[in-house]
Amino acid sequence: MVTDALDDYYQKYKGLYKSKSQLIRVISENWFKDHMYCPFCTEDRIITFNNNHPVADFFCDQCNEQFQLKSKKLKFGNAITDGEYNKMMEAIYSNSVPNLILMSYSSSYDFIYDLLIIPKEFILPGIIQKRKPLSLKAKRSGWTGCNIILKNIPDAGKVFAIKGKNVIDKKEVREKVAKIAFYRKMKEIEGRGWISDVLNVISNIKKDVFELDDVYNYATFLKNLHPNNNNIEAKIRQQLQILRDNGIIEFLGRGRYKKI
């Protein structure tokens, strides 16, 4: 994987497309097809969907994971605009969202800053923000889009293949994905939502050894996300046990925990 190879595609296609958004789509997709491997299995090639697939752009023919690529000039920011809100929510509840890959590139299209993989299981209702419907004057009046809020995704759900121009070793990327295999197998959205939210709280606690009280400090935040739960603290302890059983944290005793 070479980040500055993006320029090769830019040089090749720049004369062929008048529209900048079309051009970057072609450049980023070609780079991805030629350089990206499957982070979920041992396959070293990703395949482009031939027909215009409604959501996904790529797939792996070994493990069948599907990928949607979104690219953005410079930094991602906190909100990634996505498609129609109701369709997104339907896709989440029917477990048909593809894995999301975010690519940020330099303003002169010559290299990639970041390539971020968000496994589909982390794309949950809690990270989707409904946008304002388009105004009456707009062509698609009433159409309501959505944003993906990156800060609501825990660090465990943000797997960088390239970070700040540095290519992360493929083995390291796959190890990070393997660590969350237990989570990816959870079918229930509610259960995944809880784990993801507690993981996000832990990501926000900026120390490697933390206490139960550090997590309890987020009880109100978690209650807002799960208003039907009336025993937040018990639920937190249960999630911490699941994370311990799956090797994400370690119990040190006396309400102290360590991130692994």
Binding site for Zn ion (CB under 5 A): 38, 40-41, 43, 60, 62-63
- What is the bridge-based pairing of β-strands 99-105 and 256-259? unpaired
- Cβ distance to Zn ion smaller for residue 124 or 177: 177
Q: How far apart are CA 46 and CA 65, in angstroms?
A: 10
Q: Minimal distance in Å, beta carbon 74 to Zn ion?
A: 30
Q: Minimal distance in Å, beta carbon 221 to Zn ion?
A: 35
Q: At what angle do helices 189-204 and 232-245 cross, to 10 degrees?
A: 90
Sign of CA dihedral 83, 87, 88, 94: negative
Q: Minimal distance in Å, beta carbon 237 to Zn ion?
A: 35
Tokens, residue 219: 């009880």
Give me the long-range contacts of 29-35 (CB less than 8 A, separation at least 24).
29/57, 29/69, 31/5, 31/6, 31/112, 32/58, 32/69, 32/101, 32/103, 33/58, 34/5, 35/1, 35/2, 35/5
- Cβ distance to Zn ion smaller for residue 63 or 138: 63
Q: How far apart are CA 184 and CA 195, in angstroms?
A: 11
- Cβ distance to Zn ion smaller for residue 119 or 145: 119
Q: Minimal distance in Å, beta carbon 115 to Zn ion?
A: 16
- Cβ distance to Zn ion smaller for residue 10 or 40: 40
Tokens, residue 236: 């937190």
Q: Minimal distance in Å, beta carbon 65 to Zn ion?
A: 5
Q: Minimal distance in Å, beta carbon 55 to Zn ion?
A: 18
Q: How far apart are CA 197 and CA 176, in angstroms?
A: 18
- Cβ distance to Zn ion smaller for residue 67 or 122: 67
- Cβ distance to Zn ion smaller for residue 177 or 195: 177
